[in-house]
Each structure stands twice: as structure tokens, then as C-alpha cells.
Amino acid sequence: MLDSTQNLATSSQVRGHSGGNQDGKFSVGFRDGVVRTVVGLDRETQEEYTLVVEAIDNGPAGSRRTGTATVFVEVLDVNDNRPIFLQNNYETSILETVPRGTSILQV
């Protein structure tokens, strides 16, 4: 991240708002400002995060510039939980006259 005087950012951090970075799941690159995950994320635990990224440039003391950006992260789901059945097999019988769309078995 560069400011208008081309002073390379020397400090950057990720702060959280309402489901943000309280438990340190994200970091920001010191030189490049890229936000990265530090640990794996799980949609079943938390679906979204709102982060505030803050950068401070390397200008002369007393005239350093700072900036912030809000980053919204939406966690997409993967099928990581296998279905659990209480039985190995299920069996039922139905009449041939049962109307279409009728529920015949719940597992």
C-alpha cells in the first residue's frame, strides 16, 4: 500500500467489528496489505466477518498518514459434514394410489 508521497506502509493491522478478528483468524501483509486467513474458516461456525484494515505510512514523525478500509468476508460452504443415519437400512410400503408429492419416509 502506498500513499500519495510514495512512503511505503510500515504498519498495518486487522481489527474486527461485529464478528471481525477478535480471535485472530486474519492477518494483513506488512508490505503488501494483503488480508489472509491464519486458520481455516467454517461456515457452520460463522458465516461472515467484517474487518477494518488500518495502515500507517513511513513518513516523517509527526506527519505520518493513516488510512482504513472495511473488508467484508463471506465464508462459502463446502460439504464437510457427512450425513448421519440412525439405521443402516430403511424400509416402507406405500399404496400405488398415493398422490404425487406425498411424503413416504423421513430419515
Residue 1 is predicted with a pLDDT of 46
The pTM is what? 0.59
Contact (Cβ atoms closer than 8 angstroms) between residue 16 and residue 51: yes
| Ordered domains of the chain (ranges, CATH) | 9-74 (2.60.40.60)
Grid coordinates representing 107 are 430419515
- For the chain, the first-to-last Cα distance in angstroms comes to 54
Residue 75 is predicted with a pLDDT of 93
Residue 10 is predicted with a pLDDT of 52
Tell the residue number behind the cell numbers 489472509, with chain if given: 36
Residue 34 identity:
V
DSSP 31: T
pLDDT digits (tens, 9 = 90+) for 77-95: 888 778 888 999 999 999 9
List average pLDDT for each run of 10 residues in the chain, which is 107 residues long.
Answer: 49 56 84 87 90 83 85 88 87 91 89
Residue 2 is predicted with a pLDDT of 44
Residue 7 is predicted with a pLDDT of 53
